Chain A
Amino acid sequence: MAHTAVTIACEEKSQPSLKVGSFELASRLVVGTGKYASYAEMAECLDASGTDCVTVAVRRERLLNTAGENILDHLDLERYTLLPNTAGCFSADDAVRVARLGRELLRDLGNKGSEWVKLEVLGDQKTLLPDPVGTIEATQRLVDDGFTVLVYSSDDPIVAKRLKDLGAASVMPAGSPIGSGQGILNANSLRICLEYLKDGDPEYPVIVDAGVGTASDVAVAMELGVDGVLLNTAIAHATDPRTMALAMRSACTAGRYAFLAGRIPRKRYATASSPESGRIHESS
């Protein structure tokens, strides 16, 4: 009990709460930077979410219209650790290339996020579900290349364990397909993922990546005991993104506290909260 109280007190003081490899983050929310109506709105939402780690994608520079704004004009690199992704890659080869390009970009910027990568190797365009074979191959190659690899996976506990065994610094199971807003579709699989990944290694970070639709999805994930949640669309495409960012922040904290506090068991029948004895109609 004392330990839990200390943990919560530490988190309230913004001590590092999410540790992935050598990276320490104050917030357990990792927030994407895509799909916002404007960079200004993105910046407001990131601020409201309380995150200190944001994902970015690597794409071809436009050969025309070079006067266009760059996202970096709107991200405080002193405040946010960038987490470059390999989104849009459908092969291990492409993912490794994009990871290395991202590393070079971030090294040039002097952002410490250069040494890690959010690895995605996708299976097909329709589902954007991970290709487990390509994901395993790319994880191996990037770990060998010195990357701290945070790997997007399905919620398959066996694949998750394989990825950890290959040296992934964090396995990030999807709650449901990317951008689908369906939340946590298979809590049981996530529980098994957590059990396998944290077996003998309780500090191993597990982050739910993808599928969040609203704040309660974040709370559900955190209550299961995951260490963090990565989301993007649920904020960016909310009717009021900034207010949703605040909701996500609160839900993440609420879910974490609930996990630490320990929920009551589910029971089929009622248990009265008020005393059974002393009711006025009882015969003495």
Chain B
Amino acid sequence: MSSNEIQTERSMIIFVNGQETQISNGHTAHDLLLDLGFETRPVAVEVNKEVIPRALLPSRVLCEHDQIEVVTLVGGG
């Protein structure tokens, strides 16, 4: 195994909706939605308090200790 492959398989910790989550290095916000099974669900994503438009999720590479919020609509008054 080359050092490059070791590099790509390394994982990192991020926080998703307050929960510590392990993902692979180089994962994008879109990859995270795929991991969570949310890619077809009505959700919006915030990374470190900044809303990321859906179209930009595939190009948003996540970094160690990023704080992610994945939200949806619920009943409310």
Shortest Cβ gap from A216 to chain B (Å): 20
- Distance of A63 Cα from B70 Cα, bound (Å): 9
Shortest Cβ gap from B61 to chain A (Å): 19
Chain A 1-50 interface residues, beta-carbon cutoff 8 Å to B: 32-36, 42
Q: Which residues of the partner chain A approach B74 to less than 8 Å between Cβ atoms?
A: 34, 56-59, 71
Q: Does B10 reach chain A (CB closer than 8 Å)?
A: no
Shortest Cβ gap from B68 to chain A (Å): 10
Decide if A60 touches B73 in the complex (CB within 8 Å). no
Decide if B71 touches A101 in the complex (CB within 8 Å). yes
Q: Does A159 reach chain B (CB closer than 8 Å)?
A: no
Contact A105:B77 (CB < 8 A) given known A70-B42, A97-B46, A100-B51: no
**A99's closest neighbor in chain B, by CB?**
B51
Q: Which residues of the partner chain B approach A61 to less than 8 Å between Cβ atoms?
A: 17, 36, 38, 41, 43, 70-72
Chain B 51-77 interface residues, beta-carbon cutoff 8 Å to A: 51, 53-54, 69-77
Contact A56:B42 (CB < 8 A) given known A66-B36, A101-B51: no
Q: Does B19 reach chain A (CB closer than 8 Å)?
A: yes
**A230's closest neighbor in chain B, by CB?**
B77
Q: Does A87 reach chain B (CB closer than 8 Å)?
A: yes
- Distance of A34 Cα from B73 Cα, bound (Å): 11
Q: Which residues of the partner chain A approach B38 to less than 8 Å between Cβ atoms?
A: 61, 66
Shortest Cβ gap from B67 to chain A (Å): 11
* Number of chain B residues close to chain A: CB under 8 A: 26
- Distance of A42 Cα from B53 Cα, bound (Å): 30
Residue in B45, B51, B54, B70 with the greatest tally of chain A CB atoms within 10 Å: B51
Q: Does A232 reach chain B (CB closer than 8 Å)?
A: yes
Q: Which residues of the partner chain A approach B18 to less than 8 Å between Cβ atoms?
A: 60
Shortest Cβ gap from B2 to chain A (Å): 34
Q: Which residues of the partner chain A approach B46 to less than 8 Å between Cβ atoms?
A: 97, 100-101
23 A-B pairs with CB atoms under 8 Å apart are: A34-B76, A55-B76, A56-B76, A57-B75, A58-B44, A58-B72, A60-B70, A61-B17, A63-B16, A63-B36, A70-B41, A71-B73, A72-B42, A97-B46, A97-B51, A101-B46, A101-B71, A104-B53, A105-B71, A107-B53, A108-B44, A232-B76, A232-B77
Interface, chain A (partner B; CB < 8 A): 32-36, 42, 55-61, 63, 66, 70-72, 82, 84-85, 87, 97, 100-105, 107-109, 178-179, 210, 230-233
Give the 8 A-B residue pairs with the shortest CB-CB distance, closest first. A57-B76, A32-B77, A232-B77, A104-B44, A33-B75, A34-B75, A105-B44, A60-B17
